[in-house]
Amino acid sequence: MPLTALVRQLQQAPLTGEVATRINRSERLRLGGGGRASRALVSSALARSRQVPLLVVVPTLEEAGRWASLLELMGWRSCQLYPTSEASPYEAFDATSEITWGQLQVLSELLDLHDGGSNDLAIVATERALQPHLPPPAALQAQCLSLRRGERVDLEELGETLTRLGYERVTSIEQEGSWSRRGDIVDVFPVSSELPVRLEFFGEELEKLREFDPASQRSLDGIDVVRLTPSGYAPLIAAALRDAMPEGLERLLSPEALEQLLEGGTPDTGLRRLMGLAWDQPASLLDYLDPGTLIAIDERRAALAHGQQWFEHVVSHHDEVETDLGTALAPRLHRDPAAALAEASEAFAGFDLCELHETDNHPNQLDLASRSVPAYPNAFGKLAGLIKGFQKEHATVWLLSAQPSRAVALLEEHDCIARFVPNPGDTPAIERLVEQNTPVALKTRGNAELEGLQLPAWRLVLITDREFFGQHSLAASGYVRRRRKAASRTVDPNKMRPGDFVVHRNHGIGRFLRLEKLAIGGESRDYLVVQYADGLLRVAADQLGSLGRYRATSDAPRELNRMGGTAWSKAKERAQKAIRKVALDLVKLYAERHKAPGFAYPPDGPWQNELEDSFPYEPTPDQVKAIADVKQDMEQPSPMDRLVCGDVGFGKTEVAIRAIFKAVTAGKQVAMLAPTTVLAQQHWRTLSERFAPYPLKVSLLNRFRTAAERKAIQEGLAEGSVDVVVGTHQLLGKGTTFKQLGLLVVDEEQRFGVNQKEKIKALRKDVDVLTLSATPIPRTLYMSLSGVREMSLITTPPPLRRPIKTHLAALDEEAVRSAIRQELDRGGQIFYVVPRVEGIEEVATQLRLMLPGLRLLVAHGQMAEGELESAMVAFNAGEADLMLCTTIVESGLDIPRVNTILIEDAHRFGLAQLYQLRGRVGRSGIQAHAWLFYPGDASLSEAARARLRAIQEFAQLGSGYQLAMRDMEIR
């Protein structure tokens, strides 16, 4: 938490004490004239000086994500983003479990605070959190279950309680809201926690509580107590409705749901909008706060305006629902946002924040007088002089960098002495440097939007990588549910489940049954129990490397091997012979490449380092390894042939950019092949922007180029004046020759046809080849697995990236309307994909009738020259709400505001296509949704059903490689 020391400096400043005193006198101050980072620093310092929790209310969920990223750097024990839905609370469907669980995580911490827990807590929320949308605190508290080490618990009653709270009993814990039991061990994953908990009983005594890793099932740290909240609000609402039995309930629930409710059960959906009937006064987040909480309202006018839009929509929707149902629906789940904000201001101490210092005669306005720091990217002499000037003014200078050692060394070259403190919690070392007026350098991971700032009144200066190197640190916005990574997390990518067939390297095929704990020699260990034809084998959890998942090539019945038998060894021998034959055939195909002399590229030079430093994000560990692999290949004398396989949006393009730059700075030309015109244009723009500071020429060759333009580009390639060319299959034409082609980059190779691939082969005989793919075709993947082609996997998601929620449903007008309306309500855009150009205008007409006022654009590959590009540009600029298109958007398109995709006739698409299409959304940190529709009356083939099951199963981040493996199995 690198900004902890800065908060401490502000907290101890006399000015902070003066402001805190005015707040204590119930003055509602407005602190203006500061950027987001300045406002976050001052807010944290004021709350810390009072030793109370902090709630920051911001206009939008997007802004909340940015605030949470900043506050996380400021030393709070817990920093939580409170998620809310933009949908009307009177919709027939409930908010997603992801939102509900995120809310319960915050509410659980607040309930702990009331019970004497730590008040070292910061929360960021929107005005929506101040609206009534929660059960009263007493109702939630009454339904929570706290379990402490040493207390006595009846295991049967515990199981009944967990079921009543909405937890699902499973055989193996994988996600929140589930529990399992094996003898005297109960595993439960509280929805309000980041890790599941293992409860170990001795009889009825709860002997141990331990968090554990859901992937490896290994126990982790011991804890003393766990609080189990209900898995959602539905069980509480159902219980309250049974007590109240409001009039007209039979018209608000289906007969089946009503019967289930009356029998003591909880209907699956539709209860959230009945919260106003269950309680006379549903609660807001304010009802759960500690009375001493400090509330900062950021940009009150913007928060009010955004809240007013939502409020007007909800009022209208409430009236529509009442008309449709023919009965009253208590309007208790919305209130005037001005009244909600006023209550927050009057009931709690706090202040307003705004970026601008306005001259509107506000009686309690205070100017933060925050100023930016001049940026001198890579002009370290000027920056050193600037820092020396700050030191003369006795300001404390803080350097926050992703590469602090380098920053300190560069300043020292210009006689400016700074010191890097590796541990930001080393208070004595930091205080010594501050007393000596020596700039303090701290390391940051770059997940928050930070720019340099000056707070002269506090004598504080912050300098970031923007001022040093011209790098902008970017934060993912929106809500991301936290999941703490286990300390001993060694994830098995093959995730075995009870009943799965597994392969032991010595004993062959067996069936995984369960995980059990055995005490041997006084030591308790976890074992995996595997069934074989002649008995059971117990494999210690720390020997998982000897087991792998059995991957069938057909649905034929599988036979279990006998332990110690000869069948397994004979099967391995036969397989090895078959592998040798296939390998020989494949090696012959690539022998010519390996025999051909290649070009050994020189090591990285200053330009290469400068380009890589300009990347605005911190590369993930897998990206770093892939980049190193590619560079190592390029520096060898034999031609490179490497496949980089990574999920959509995981940074494959950045790997290619660095390889391309390495090639052109060594005097070679580069060709980059993309399967579609749209993707080629996007790559061209990206390369042009990244290479703009350098004397390189990047050209685009596609069907939108005129004959004269194509001829000029081809002449430039032949003469060597064009360094990089990006194009579609136009690059493979007869007229395209290169003076000195050194690197061929092929993006999404599986999208090219057979004839095009033959032409690609002709290009690649003696040049380095880099192939990028999220879901490689089975042949490409097989060659990489066989070792003929080298492969790098990028499976680490970017910070704050969220898995896309995948919904399978029969095509239904109401489902389509609801999915589109949900996205529009939160200000986003939508892709609607159809499998054919034929009939696309009829679909457009249906959508316009379904949603009057919908701004719709059509895009497909048969559009006239320039028309497609115009449509894409208009959609990217936000001039339309929905793009109705074919698979033209399948590869590489990146529009962060598009967070919902609807795919009609999904069963007609291939698995790789579905995966690529789904990857067009969810690139901004906001929860994205992919709806896969199929005709309700259609009889799907077995293969189509398998594809749809696979795309839904592999919804987690980084699953493109596993999906390609499943594609091989299906084929």
Mean pLDDT, the chain, as a whole number? 82
Would the pLDDT of 881 be above 80? yes
* pLDDT at residue 772 tops 80: yes
- Which of 447-461, 549-563, 772-786, 906-920 has the least mean pLDDT? 772-786
Q: Rounded distance, CA 956 to CA 221, Å?
A: 26
Percent of the chain with pLDDT over 90: 33
Mean per-residue pLDDT, 478-497: 43
Q: What is the pLDDT of residue 662?
A: 95
Torsion of Cα atoms, 156 then 157 then 161 then 167, to 10°: -10
Neighbours of 849 (CB within 10 A): 10
Which phi and psi angles does 791 have, rounded to 5°? -135, 140
Long-range contacts of 172-175 (CB under 8 A, 24+ apart): 172/217, 172/497, 172/498, 172/515, 173/214, 173/217, 174/214, 175/214
> Which string of DSSP letters, residue by residue, matches 66-132?
HHHHHHGGGT-SEEEE-----S-TTSSSPPPHHHHHHHHHHHHHHHHHHTT----EEEEEEGGGGSS
| Candidate from 376-385, 631-640, 959-968 with smallest mean pLDDT | 959-968
Percent of the chain residues topping a pLDDT of 70: 83
Adjacent-strand bridge partners of 725:
671, 699
125-162 per-position pLDDT tens digit:
999 999 999 999 999 999 999 999 999 999 999 999 99
CATH fold of 492-565 reads Thrombin, subunit H (2.40.10)
| CA 971 to centroid of chain Cα atoms | 31
Residue 579 has pLDDT above 50, yes or no: yes
Cβ–Cβ under 8 Å, residues 856 and 884: yes
CATH for the stretch 145-228: 3.30.2060.10
At residue 596, the pLDDT reads 63
Of 20-29, 194-203, 253-262, the poorest mean pLDDT is in: 253-262
Identity of the amino acid at 824: L
* 805-955 topology per CATH: Rossmann fold (3.40.50)
User: Do residues 674 and 891 make contact, with C-beta atoms less than 8 angstroms apart?
Assistant: yes
pLDDT exceeds 70 at position 756: no
Q: Sorting pLDDT into bands at 50, 70 and 90, what band is 763?
A: low
Distances (CA, A) of 260 to 145, 255, 914: 24, 9, 37
Q: Is 234 exposed, middle or buried (0-12, 13-18, 19+ CB in 10 A)?
A: buried
Tell me the C-alpha distance between 599 and 514, whole Å.
Answer: 54
Q: Which two tokens stand for residue 893?
A: 């398109």
Average pLDDT for 365-390: 88
Cα–Cα distance for residue pair 298/58, rounded to 1 Å? 5
Element (H, E) at 201: strand 197-202
Look up residue 331 and give its two tokens: 């309007």
Query: Could you write out the DSSP letters of every residue in 38-63?
Result: HHHHHHHHHHHHHT--EEEEES-HHH
CA-CA distance, 896 to 875, in Å (whole number)?
12
What CATH class has 376-444+451-469?
A: alpha beta
What per-residue confidence (pLDDT) applies to 543?
Answer: 67
pLDDT in the model for residue 142: 92
Q: What is the pLDDT of residue 941?
A: 66
**pLDDT (0 to 100) of residue 438:** 93
Task: Give the model confidence (pLDDT) of 287-302 as tens digits.
Answer: 999 999 999 999 999 9
CA distance 408 to 419: 7
Task: Round to whole Å and give the CA distance between 858 and 890.
Answer: 15
Tokens of 351: 């202040």
Alpha-carbon gap, residue 94 to 90, rounded angstroms: 9
Torsion of CA 744, 747, 751, 753, to 10 degrees: -10
Can you give the pLDDT at residue 144? 93
pLDDT digits (tens, 9 = 90+) for 87-108: 888 887 666 677 888 899 999 9
Q: What span, in angstroms and rounded, lies between the C-alpha atoms of 801 and 958?
A: 11
How many beta carbons lie within 10 A of that of residue 925, not counting itself?
Answer: 24
C-alpha 816/C-alpha 835 separation (Å) is 17
Round to whole Å and give the CA distance between 715 and 21. Answer: 74
Which of 106, 85, 88 lies closest to 96, judged by CA?
85
In this prediction, residue 632 carries a pLDDT of: 93
* pLDDT higher than threshold 70 for residue 933: yes
- What pLDDT does residue 152 have? 94
Domain map (residue ranges) of the chain: 4-138+275-367, 145-228, 376-444+451-469, 492-565, 596-794, 805-955
CB count in 10 Å sphere of residue 425: 12
Helix (H) or strand (E) holding 672: strand 669-673
Candidates 64, 93, 62; CA nearest to 805 is 93
Highest mean pLDDT among 121-125, 274-278, 913-917: 121-125
pLDDT band for 55, please (50, 70, 90 cuts). Answer: very high
Strand partners for 267: none
pLDDT attached to residue 971 = 47
Q: 834 in the Ramachandran plot: left (φ > 0), alpha (ψ -120 to 50) or beta?
A: beta
| Comparison of pLDDT for 349 and 567, the residue scoring more | 349
Residues 6+ apart with CB under 8 A from 26: 349
pLDDT of residue 936: 66
Q: Which of 4-13, 112-121, 173-182, 860-869 has the lowest mean pLDDT?
A: 860-869
What's domain 4-138+275-367's architecture? 3-Layer(aba) Sandwich (3.40)
Whether residue 183 is predicted with pLDDT greater than 60 in this model: the reply is: yes
Q: Do domains 145-228 and 492-565 have the same CATH topology?
A: no
H/E stretch holding 701 reads strand 698-701
Q: What pLDDT was estimated at residue 937?
A: 56
Q: What is the DSSP letter of 493?
A: T
Name the least confident of 16-30, 571-585, 685-699: 571-585
User: For the ranges 401-415, 481-495, 796-810, which has the lowest average pLDDT?
Assistant: 481-495
Q: Give one word for 521, left, alpha or beta, with left for phi > 0 and alpha for psi -120 to 50.
A: left
Q: How confident is the model at residue 492 (pLDDT cuts 50, 70, 90)?
A: very low
CATH 3.30.70.420 fits 596-794, yes or no: no
CA 85 to mean position of chain CA atoms: 18
CA angle 952/97/286 to nearest 5° reads 160
Partners of residue 233 on adjacent β-strands: none
Largest CA distance in the chain: 91
DSSP characters over 781-812: HHHHHTTSSEEEEE-PPPTT--PPEEEEEE--
Q: Tell me, what's the pLDDT at 264?
A: 80
Q: Give the dihedral sign, CA 161/166/168/173.
A: negative
891 contacts 868 by C-beta, under 8 angstroms: no
Most confident segment among 77-86, 575-584, 750-759: 77-86
Q: Nearest 5 degrees, angle CA 449-CA 384-CA 400?
A: 25
- As a whole number of angstroms, the distance between CA 945 and CA 952 comes to 11
Distance between CA atoms of 80 and 69, rounded to whole angstroms? 10
Separation of alpha carbons 328 and 766, rounded Å: 76
CA distance readout (Å), 801 to 575, 648, 779, 846, 958:
40, 11, 30, 34, 11
pLDDT at residue number 939: 56
Number of other CB atoms surrounding residue 495 within 10 Å? 15
Residues 271 and 234: their CA atoms lie apart, in Å, by 6
The winner for highest mean pLDDT among 116-130, 693-707, 906-920 is 116-130
Higher pLDDT, 392 or 915: 392
885 — pLDDT class (breaks 50, 70, 90): very high
pLDDT in tens, 440-482: 999 886 556 788 899 999 999 999 988 888 766 555 444 454 5
For residue 732, the 8-state DSSP code is G
**Would you say residue 392 has pLDDT above 80?**
yes
What spatial distance separates the first Cα and last Cα of the chain, rounded to whole Å? 49
Residues in CB range of 955: below 8 A, 6 or more apart:
803, 804, 805, 806
Report for 39-53, 72-86, 213-227, 267-281: range of highest mean pLDDT: 39-53
The answer to whether 547 and 494 are in contact (CB under 8 A) is: no
Tell me the C-alpha distance between 667 and 266, whole Å: 69
**By CB neighbour count within 10 A (0-12 exposed, 13-18 middle, 19+ buried), where does 373 fall?**
buried
CB-based burial label for 277 (10 Å; 0-12, 13-18, 19+): buried
What residue type is assigned to position 506 of the chain?
Answer: N
